[in-house]
Amino acid sequence: MREEEMRKEILEKVAEYAREFHLKKQQEKDENFKEGDRVPYASRVYDEKEMVNLVDSALEFWLTAGRYTEEFEKKFAEYLGVRFVSLVNSGSSANLCAFAALTSPLLGERALRRGDEVITVAAGFPTTVNPIIQYGCVPVFIDVEIPGYSIKTDLLEEAYTEKTKAVMMAHTLGNPFNIKKVKDFCDKHGLWLVEDNCDSLGSLYTIDGETKQTGTIGDIGTSSFYPPHHMTMGEGGAVYTNNPLLHKIIRSMRDWGRDCICPPGHDNFCGHRYDGTYGELPKGYDHKYVYSHFGYNLKATDMQAAVGVAQLEKFPQFAEKRRENFKYLYEKLANGGAEEKLILPVAEENSDPCWFGFIVTCRDGVDRKKVVPYIESKNVQTRMLFAGNLIKHPCFDEMRKEGKGFRVVGDLTNTDLIMDRSFWVGVYPGMTREKLDYMAKVILEAINL
């Protein structure tokens, strides 16, 4: 009883502390905002519930995956409308785990092997592509459309060869790619489809008359919970699927490659810990130490999951606020004549994006090298579209010199255009109208210098 009383007292104090020294300060900062104050492209949005959950988990000192992890995986699966979710320690790990799962021998002839090709785009974040290369497969790069910033689907058939085994790419800044065409292409050729949903959690896409969450239409979806993303747990990510076999493989890849399905802290979950035969091991070898894959330890901690549980409760409001902020900023810029100087973003047909950011591309005669420094000088934070053109980065130097390791279908004209002329600003849920007004004003000033 004494323990329960102390725990309650501690958590009440944590809530009080959060309200007094976190929420109050942020509220005062927002209320006192004036032009010239810092406008970040993203920031955490939270209240006392996240901090109470975090301390509640810390008091248990379980540290690794536990009850909050189980709760998060269950509730996140319910939100997405999928059967299986596996929490991992980052969005990059989620992509690694997702791709690694497709190399499993349990998939038979459909397993990806060295030399197999995977269709993707170069205009994005590197860890969508890195696992393809790390597993000895060949990324096949296709250009993207502007102003949607997603793959040119009319080049898919041209990219296809007998070595093609999968398509893996991201929904760009919340704007879905043409999932209908991509999925039809994958179904036609028997390819895996991995949706990197790290920048697009909450985005919706209507396919065959049914509206679904992005990340849930392909074979595997991934999410990131890094602080700038749609919701956060500090570091963290998730891999999700409706396929029971893929789920089994994903869990194995996440958990050291083990064959055992015991949750942390549990033994003999299956009831057959000492009576199985595996590989060339002696009969009855401890199943907790049998490894069916070359896996990793990609688990998140229960403290991260505890924050995620509180964030997930707020997420529908986060998503709606992002949409509102995007619409408001779009109207401000459009009404201010920005379309004469900038290409403004356009949502993919049949989609309702939960925008991660507001991306623009400078038209002819507008120099990004002048526009962005001006915007930054006014304390408005900007970002490039990640790598711009990934294959022009130093990590590709050796492959470029050798002329192997990747393929490009057609040209990457728009990808290069994005690299040279595009940038984006934030629409995160904590953005106030005053900040949006100031941001629009500064952008309009910058393009009219």
Cα 219 to Cα 241: distance, rounded to the nearest angstrom: 6
Annotated catalytic residue: which of 22, 171, 189, 229? Answer: 229
Instruction: Please name the residue that has the structure tokens 């949006």.
Output: 436
Mean per-residue pLDDT for 385-404? 95
Specify if 83 maps to a domain: yes
What DSSP assignment string belongs to 189-226? HT-EEEEE-TT-TT-EEEETTEEEETTSSSSEEEEE--
Which tens digit of pLDDT belongs to each residue from 287-346? 999 999 999 999 999 999 999 999 999 999 999 999 999 999 999 999 999 999 999 999
pLDDT for residue 263: 78
The answer to whether residue 265 scores a pLDDT higher than 80 is no
Mean per-residue pLDDT for 361-369? 98
Count: domains in the chain:
1
Q: Are 200 and 353 in contact (CB under 8 A)?
A: yes
Specify if 239 maps to a domain: yes
Q: In this structure, what token pair is assigned to residue 317? A: 């409001």
Domain span at residue 260 reads 59-303
Mean per-residue pLDDT for 247-275? 90
Cα 270 to Cα 50: distance, rounded to the nearest angstrom: 34
Which tens digit of pLDDT belongs to each residue from 38-72? 999 999 999 999 999 999 999 999 989 999 999 99
Cα 138 to Cα 152: distance, rounded to the nearest angstrom: 19
Cα 64 to Cα 302: distance, rounded to the nearest angstrom: 5
Encode 257-280: b = buried (16+ Cβ within 10 Å), e = exposed: bbbbeeeeeeeeeeeebeebeeee
Mean per-residue pLDDT for 100-105? 98
* pTM value > 0.75: yes
The answer to whether residue 1 scores a pLDDT higher than 80 is no
Cα 281 to Cα 63: distance, rounded to the nearest angstrom: 32
Active site residue 229: yes
Specify if 188 maps to a domain: yes
Specify if 429 maps to a domain: no
Specify if 104 maps to a domain: yes
Cα 320 to Cα 81: distance, rounded to the nearest angstrom: 18
> Mutual orientation of helices 244-254 and 91-101 as an angle, nearest 10°?
120
Which tens digit of pLDDT belongs to each residue from 168-207? 999 999 999 999 999 999 999 999 999 999 999 999 999 9
Nearest one of 280, 447, 275 to 360, comparing CA atoms: 447
The answer to whether residue 264 scores a pLDDT higher than 80 is no
Specify if 257 maps to a domain: yes
Instruction: Quote the mean pLDDT of the chain.
Output: 97
Q: Are 424 and 359 in contact (CB under 8 A)?
A: yes
Which tens digit of pLDDT belongs to each residue from 428-441? 999 999 999 999 99
Specify if 427 maps to a domain: no
Nearest one of 220, 142, 201 to 355, comparing CA atoms: 201
CATH assignment at residue 255: 3.40.640.10
Specify if 322 maps to a domain: no
Phi, psi of 263 (to 5 degrees): -65, 160
